[in-house]
Amino acid sequence: MMTRRWILFSVVVFAVALVTLFPLRLAMDMALGQSSLLSARQVAGSVWSGRIGDAMLGRERLGSFDVALRPLPLVIGRTEVAVERLGDPDGPLSGRFFLSGPSEGVASLDGRVAIAGLVAPLPIEALRFDRVDALFDTGGCKQAQGTVTAIPAAAIAFLGGELSGPVSCAEDGRVVALLSGPRGAEEVELALDAEGNLETIVTISGAPPALGEALAAYGFARGDAGWSLRVAGRLD
């Protein structure tokens, strides 16, 4: 009887230790898979208190983050991870990622993310997020709010400055951000679906002939709404 109790006790202790100390590296490998654009050079700690060093999104550097699995959402069957970027030239970046449960996506996303390599040849260097929620369920976009700002590449004069706009759910189930520039002639549409497919369209209206030549050199095509350039990609 005593041996059985010790076996049971050992099993319980092992199970608690496995959950409490589950390696963050193993959790990332299981969650992302080999084809993911997200990678990291260094991963240390457990899922409850870990650190990701030199994270990359494709060719874009994200920085280093503190990562922590939130325990209370587990009670309702939701896997929620809080992330916070450490000291970085691009400034702070934080948010809560919902990986499983009633909905999946991100909430309370704040900070700047470089995207030039993801949307090339579009002349957009980075996106800045302000309290952005983008959550999906089986029916598509469930909740979307906040503000996104597109930061043009420094050498691009024809966008005229930063473009900002709200985030919302579209009728087709995608999360959409429609951004406009200070002159009202520039527009950027960002659309993301639940599978991670990202569509970005930049439109310039009322461009004079000289500017039209420059836009054509960047790959823009002239249409009824003005000069536009569309890029489709995927975020895995």
Tens digit of pLDDT for each residue in 64-103?
888 888 877 777 777 788 889 988 888 899 998 887 778 8
Give me the torsion for CA of 164, 122, 64, 111, rounded to 10°.
0
Under a CB-based contact definition with an 8 Å cutoff, are residues 107 and 145 in contact? no
User: Based on the domain organization, do 122 and 206 belong to the same domain?
Assistant: yes
Residue 16 lies in a domain: no
For position 1, what pLDDT does the model report?
43
Residue 13 lies in a domain: no
Residue 33 lies in a domain: yes
Place of tokens 């809560």: 96
Under a CB-based contact definition with an 8 Å cutoff, are residues 170 and 161 in contact? no
Quickly count: other Cβ atoms within 10 Å of residue 27's Cβ.
19
User: Based on the domain organization, do 93 and 108 belong to the same domain?
Assistant: no
For position 157, what pLDDT does the model report?
58
Under a CB-based contact definition with an 8 Å cutoff, are residues 43 and 53 in contact? yes
User: Based on the domain organization, do 216 and 111 belong to the same domain?
Assistant: yes
User: Based on the domain organization, do 46 and 73 belong to the same domain?
Assistant: yes
The average pLDDT across 120-126 equals 80
**Lowest mean pLDDT across 45-54, 106-115, 120-129:** 45-54
Q: What is the pTM of this model?
A: 0.78
User: Based on the domain organization, do 167 and 185 belong to the same domain?
Assistant: yes
The answer on pLDDT for 112 being more than 80 is yes
**Lowest mean pLDDT across 44-53, 135-144, 201-210:** 44-53
**Lowest mean pLDDT across 19-33, 77-91, 141-155:** 19-33
The answer on pLDDT for 167 being more than 90 is yes
What confidence category does residue 11 fall into, taking pLDDT thresholds of 50, 70 and 90? very low
Residue 25 lies in a domain: yes
Domain final position from 55, 79, 102: 102
Residue 122: both structure tokens together? 């579009």
Give me the torsion for CA of 142, 200, 124, 206, rounded to 10°.
-120
What confidence category does residue 156 fall into, taking pLDDT thresholds of 50, 70 and 90? low
The answer on pLDDT for 16 being more than 50 is no
For position 29, what pLDDT does the model report?
55
User: Based on the domain organization, do 31 and 84 belong to the same domain?
Assistant: yes
Domain final position from 102, 128, 151: 102
Domain region containing 122:
103-236
The answer on pLDDT for 217 being more than 60 is yes
User: Based on the domain organization, do 138 and 177 belong to the same domain?
Assistant: yes
**DSSP assignment letter at 100:** E
Domain final position from 102, 125, 156: 102
Mean pLDDT over each residue of the chain, to the nearest integer: 77
Mean pLDDT is highest, among 38-42, 84-88, 105-109, 223-227, for 105-109
Structurally, the chain folds into a number of domains equal to 2
